[in-house]
Amino acid sequence: MYTGLVHTHSLLRYVVLILILVAIVQSLTAGNKPYTEGNRKINLFTLISAHIQLVLGLVLYFMSPSVDFSQMSNPVTRYWNVEHISMMIIAIVLITVGHSKSKKAVEAKAKHKAIGVFYSIALLIILAAIFTMKDRNPWWNM
């Protein structure tokens, strides 16, 4: 079960990354265009996939043999104990805040701006978390 969850979590990252990139590109290229139902759906699917990824990650966090707080001097263990989960939770909070601000905004331009700003910051944090993984290739090792 653990291995299946790890593979699912690893594959779902690509879905999250693709959706967040699509949402950011849509928001940055929108200009004065109206906020469409398609925009809303992409933003919502990004939010949902990020939250599913979070739930899978939390399950793995509590099941993982890599999470061991007695080994904090080891950079790999410290990464999985603290750094990865912290950065990902911050990124998902930003996605959630961006989506919420977008929903509450009245003007289309404000909706696009909220998504563009918050999702972009979240993407930078996600990429930092992926590329700072210790002791493994983050893209091909599943």
DSSP H/E element including 111:
helix 108-131
Would you call 72 helix, strand, or coil by DSSP? coil
Q: Which amino acid is at 141?
A: N
Residue 95 makes CB contacts below 8 A (sequence gap 6+) with: 20, 46, 47, 50, 118, 119, 122
Averaged confidence pLDDT in the chain = 91
Q: Is the pTM of this model over 0.85?
A: yes
Q: What angle do CA 59, 48, 93 make, to 5 degrees?
A: 75
Distances (CA, A) of 8 to 42, 56, 78, 116, 119: 21, 8, 23, 27, 23
d(CA 120, CA 123): 5
Q: Is the pLDDT confidence value at 134 over 70?
A: no
Q: What is the pLDDT of residue 115?
A: 97
- Structural domain total, the chain: 1
Question: Sorting pLDDT into bands at 50, 70 and 90, what band is 103?
Answer: very high
Residue-number span of the structural domain to which 94 is assigned: 1-135
Determine the average pLDDT of the residues in 12-22: 96
141 within some domain? no
Q: What is the pLDDT of residue 135?
A: 64
33 within some domain? yes
**Stronger pLDDT, 15 or 65, i.e. the higher one:** 15
Residue 32 makes CB contacts below 8 A (sequence gap 6+) with: 108, 109
140 within some domain? no
pLDDT above 90 as % of the chain? 71
Extended strands (E) in the chain: none
What pLDDT digit, counting tens, does each position of 31-83 carry?
A: 889 999 999 999 999 999 999 999 999 999 999 887 888 888 888 888 888 99
d(CA 135, CA 138): 9
142 within some domain? no
106 within some domain? yes
Q: Is the pLDDT confidence value at 106 over 80?
A: yes
